[in-house]
Amino acid sequence: MSVWIHGIGVVGGFGCGRVALEVALAAGAVAPRSLAVPTGQGMVELPAYRADTAPLDNYVPKRALRRVDGFARMALLGACLALEDGGQTPGGLQGTGLILASGQGATGSTLGLLDSFFESGDACASPIHFANSLHNAAAAHLAILLGADGPCVTLSQGRLSVLAALFTAKLWLEEGRATQVLVGCVEELSEVMGYAWLKNHGTSLVPGEGAAFFLLTRAPEGARAELCQVELGLVEESTLPTGGSFPQVYGHGPAAIGFDVAAASILLGTQGHGGIRLLVEEPGEGCGSVSFR
Amino acid sequence: MKAAVSGLGCLCAAGGTLPDCMEGLRSGLRHPVPPVRIHTSHAVPYPVFEVPDFGHPPELLRTSALLLAAAREALGDAGINESIISICRIGVCVGTTVGCALSDEPFCKAFRNGEDPDLAPLERVFRNNPAAVLARTFGLKGPCQVVVNACSSGTDAIGLGASWIEAGLCDIVLAGGTDELSRITLNGFIALKIVDPEPCRPFDRDRKGLNLGEGAAVLVLESEESLRRRGGRARARVLGYSAACDAHHQTAPHPEGAGLRRAIQDALGRAGVAGAELAFVNAHGTGTPDNDRVEGRVLADLLPGVPYFSTKGHTGHTLGAAGAVEAAFTVASLEAGWIPGSAGFAMPDPEIGSSPSEAVQAVKGRAALSTSLAFGGNNAALVFGAPS
């Protein structure tokens, strides 16, 4: 059974929205910003593709965002953009399923929670940081602020997370569990993740953060691309061409896989490919593929 | 055809194997004590339910090691050996909360203190994605994913795994949940003021909150064709699964249980089972005032007269494992024809308007329901049925 991508919502180092990514892909490169990373030798400026979530104010009242952390803000903005791209507005999404994927989760809020009891003792743990540190907190913010009351799940499988999410979304639509599914991946370049990147890669590879969301339905009319097949585990050979990655547009790291999927969907429309297949391998965790046409 | 349950494995504070756990539930005895393996500085020694005498290799997180132990028991119960594994497409779908979290406190503390900590502890955490550990350990080649849906993770993982079987994506799926007791989550739940300083009292009028626990459970889900090919036997079937979000509050359930109602009704509909046909409900029943009031009312309204119980008085709240642990108990109870009492329950709550089972009782019927409610407003329901 076919599943169709009706909306693409992206926020990353290239800017905000499908058109911004399309422009960046056409230009071929975007200048990174930087992340200040504390190390034993002092602060180090790590070149990084950072996501600016200020445009979220256009979609969600500021008051509703008081307790929403940076990770969930990226998710919200990506989801709102995907809805807008699909001709829908946030709110009243009865029967809409939500799937959020993240390899690392809200590491900034987790570190904030740990800070709260490192500094003042176990009895002073921050309840807000605890609630935001849960892997599914961002999906909960999405469900509440968008009014999506269908099934809601958060998945974590390293670099394969976004493929796991698309795999599940396709199944939900085929099983009639949701009328449409808003599926996305979010990765945050927190200080601690920046530190880990610096230790592993130095400044030779530029990491990226952000969110990539897709509005999926079973209706082909008006769709941007067809999500043909998602495979996890042992992946068979395919005759479809394998899609590329664009690290000079959105950086390296787990967030890049979601942007790869968005880029593939966009390139199908702009370059007239017959089909694109992305292959993703996570050493020690398996591999997967996703095919579009 | 609905996915068969061909093997079960479980360990938690109630017992080191599923038969031990069932014996523990039948005995009514429980052992909540202040944590032994972790230490906190709270003035109150909050009781927890730890798995005693459980060692594991240092490269594994305890969460992963608990899962492997449950998986070994489940595979053994199903009669699945290496030669079967080598020819079958076997997927893994596992729920957790702690297993995918930035949980190494010494690393984080050193980082915050401006030191230059080695990345090994952080890499150990990321290498310990429980589903990946399970797939690597047994050489499984099918889809593999971790569900991090807070307290409904285990239930959702089993529901998703059953879908993989029904869709023909796998011959066999190892589905379940796992979580170790963690200082971070204990501090977090205490900060939210929903931990009972006494042994927990699910559905009781005087309940004050949950006690944390730890454990793991794995269900071997299998297609009919695979069962027939290898001569296996079904202990039960996953007749229906559904999930629905309250879209209401980050940490509290919808006051009318809107999502839970929809999840239960849809799961029963998919199962083709009427509420009155259920032998029992294994409820989430955490012992928190909000959860038990909402869940108890929904059960009383939707499934009047169907006996229900909570096993968290025996296991504590095992978070990402809870749905799987309770699914294993549900299948075992359905097979055995009895349900346990709800340890900790003594006084009916007039706000709920119904009461859980107070003691071991015999039940009749060929189907049972297991429910989970979670932070984020997630609600999930599984319907299990007798094998034929």
A214 vs A158 pLDDT, higher one: A214
Q: Which residues of B touch A183 (CB under 8 A)?
A: none
Q: Is the pLDDT of residue A276 over 90?
A: no
Q: Mean pLDDT in chain B?
A: 96
Q: Closest approach of chain B CAs to the CA of A92, in angstroms? A: 10
Minimal Cβ distance to A140: which of B116, B242, B377: B377
Averaged pLDDT, A224-229: 91
Averaged pLDDT, B41-62: 95
What is the rounded distance in angstroms from the CA atom of residue B38 to the CA atom of residue B186? 10
| Percent residues over pLDDT 70 in chain B | 100
pLDDT on residue B100: 83
Averaged pLDDT, B111-119: 94
SS3 A19: helix
Q: Which residues of A touch B259 (CB under 8 A)?
A: 149
pLDDT on residue A182: 98
CB atoms within 10 A of CB B115: 13
Q: How confident is the model at residue A1 (pLDDT cuts 50, 70, 90)?
A: confident
SS3 A231: strand
pLDDT on residue A277: 86
SS3 A213: strand
Is 0.95 exceeded by the ipTM? yes
The three-state DSSP-derived secondary structure of chain B is CCCEEEEEEEEECCECCHHHHHHHHHHCCCCCECCCCCCCCCCCCCCEECCCCCCCCCCCCHHHHHHHHHHHHHHHHHCCCHHHHHHCCEEEEEECCHHHCCCCHHHHHHHHCCCCCCCHHHHHHHHCCHHHHHHHHHCCCCCEEEECCHHHHHHHHHHHHHHHHHCCCCCEEEEEEEECCCHHHHHHHHHCCCECCCCCCCCCCCCCCECEECEEEEEEEECHHHHHHHCCCCCEEEEEEEEEECCCCCCCCCCCCHHHHHHHHHHHHHHCCCHHHEEEEECCCCCCHHHHHHHHHHHHHHCCCCCEECCHHHHCECHHHHHHHHHHHHHHHHHHCEECCCCCCCCCCCCCCCCCCCCCEECCCCEEEEEEECHHHEEEEEEEECCC
Burial class (CB in 10 A: 0-12, 13-18, 19+), A58: exposed
Averaged pLDDT, A49-75: 95
Q: How confident is the model at residue B126 (pLDDT cuts 50, 70, 90)?
A: confident
Q: Is the pLDDT of residue A25 over 90?
A: yes
Angle at B258 between CA A70 and CA A90, to 5 degrees: 40
Of B282, B284, B294, B276, the C-alpha closest to B349 is B294
What is the rounded distance in angstroms from the CA atom of residue B326 to the CA atom of residue B321? 9
CB atoms within 10 A of CB B206: 12
A233 vs B161 pLDDT, higher one: B161
Residue B192 corresponds to which amino acid?
L
Find the closest chain B residue to A289 by CA distance. Answer: B143
Q: How confident is the model at residue A293 (pLDDT cuts 50, 70, 90)?
A: confident
Find the closest chain B residue to A287 by CA distance. Answer: B143
Residues 6+ apart with CB under 8 A from A202: none
pLDDT on residue B329: 98
pLDDT on residue A245: 85
pLDDT on residue B350: 97
Find the closest chain A residue to B88 by CA distance. Answer: A234
Task: Tell me how many domains chain B contains.
Answer: 1
For the stretch A106-128, pLDDT in tens is 999 999 999 999 988 999 999 99
To test the contact with chain B by mutation, choose from A126, A136, A174, A187 the residue with the greatest count of B C-beta atoms within 10 A, namely A136
Q: Which residues of A touch B149 (CB under 8 A)?
A: 135-136, 152-154
Q: Is the pLDDT of residue A90 over 80?
A: yes
Domains in chain A: boundaries: 3-292
Residues in chain B: 388
- CATH, domain range A3-292: 3.40.47.10
* Inter-chain residue contact A174 with B167, CB threshold 8 Å: yes
* Inter-chain residue contact B191 with A137, CB threshold 8 Å: no
Q: Is the pLDDT of residue A237 over 60?
A: no
Minimal Cβ distance to A156: which of B91, B100, B378: B100
Beta bridge partners of B162: none
Q: Which residues of A touch B148 (CB under 8 A)?
A: 105, 134-136, 154-156
What is the rounded distance in angstroms from the CA atom of residue A173 to the CA atom of residue A175? 5
| Percent residues over pLDDT 70 in chain A | 95
Q: Is the pLDDT of residue A240 over 60?
A: no
What is the rounded distance in angstroms from the CA atom of residue A274 to the CA atom of residue A241? 9
Averaged pLDDT, A157-183: 95
Q: Is the pLDDT of residue B20 over 80?
A: yes
To test the contact with chain A by mutation, choose from B250, B256, B373 the residue with the greatest count of A C-beta atoms within 10 A, namely B250
* Inter-chain residue contact B42 with A123, CB threshold 8 Å: yes
* Inter-chain residue contact B258 with A149, CB threshold 8 Å: yes
Of A178, A158, A291, A177, the C-alpha closest to A237 is A291
Find the closest chain B residue to A133 by CA distance. Answer: B101
Expressed as residue numbers, the domain containing B362 is: 4-385
Beta bridge partners of B385: B237, B367
User: Which residues of B are marked as active site?
Assistant: 151, 284, 317
Find the closest chain A residue to B152 by CA distance. Answer: A153
For the stretch B84-98, pLDDT in tens is 999 999 999 999 998
* Inter-chain residue contact B41 with A123, CB threshold 8 Å: yes
* Inter-chain residue contact A196 with B119, CB threshold 8 Å: yes
What is the rounded distance in angstroms from the CA atom of residue A83 to the CA atom of residue A183? 11
**Encoded tokens for A274:** 């017959």
Q: Closest approach of chain A CAs to the CA of B156, in angstroms? A: 8
- CATH assignment at residue B148: 3.40.47.10
pLDDT on residue B237: 98
* Inter-chain residue contact B102 with A126, CB threshold 8 Å: no
pLDDT on residue A239: 56
* Inter-chain residue contact A149 with B244, CB threshold 8 Å: yes
Averaged pLDDT, A224-250: 78
Q: How confident is the model at residue A6 (pLDDT cuts 50, 70, 90)?
A: very high
Minimal Cβ distance to A152: which of B141, B192, B378: B378
* Inter-chain residue contact B101 with A140, CB threshold 8 Å: no
Q: Is the pLDDT of residue A84 over 90?
A: yes
Q: Closest approach of chain B CAs to the CA of A266, in angstroms? A: 27
Terminal C-alpha separation, chain B? 11
